[in-house]
């Protein structure tokens, strides 16, 4: 199993550009999450989804959008990139009642906005 796959691993954007961070999981997990991690800070929740067609805002949703058309995919869209969006982005998935009960994280996308 590949687990949670995130692409790209690194990206540099110019202010005002847009991009989509991709996240795919092959574990048939219903729950998926997007977090961002800034230096010295913990993980902050951007958006999450409890199943295909259902999404909800987290703590820091401004400047981002998500969609969940399939169980496997949960892309994160950045519109009009700003320097404040420079961060490392992690996608995670989770199965209610699954083994270990913990989230499975991807390896992250490091985004720099200049």
Binding site residues, another protein, CB under 8 A: 4, 33, 35, 40-45, 48, 58, 90, 92, 96, 100-108
Q: Which is nearer to another protein, 45 or 82 (CB)?
A: 45
84 CB-contact burial (10 Å; exposed 0-12 / middle 13-18 / buried 19+): exposed
Q: Which is nearer to another protein, 14 or 96 (CB)?
A: 96
Q: Which is nearer to another protein, 31 or 82 (CB)?
A: 31
25, 48, 20, 75 alpha-carbon torsion, rounded to 10°: 30
């Amino acid at each position: 199993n590949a687990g949670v796959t995130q692409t790209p691993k690194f990206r540099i954007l110019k202010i005002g550009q847009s991009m989509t961070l991709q996240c795919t999981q092959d574990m048939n997990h219903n729950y998926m999450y997007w977090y961002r991690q800034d230096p010295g800070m913990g993980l902050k929740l951007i958006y999450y989804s409890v199943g295909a067609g259902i999404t909800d805002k987290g703590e820091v949703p401004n400047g981002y959008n998500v969609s969940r058309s399939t169980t496997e995919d949960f892309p994160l869209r950045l519109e009009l990139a700003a320097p404040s969006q420079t961060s490392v982005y992690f996608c995670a998935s989770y199965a209610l009642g699954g083994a270990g009960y913990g989230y499975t994280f991807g390896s992250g996308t490091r985004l720099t906005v200049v």
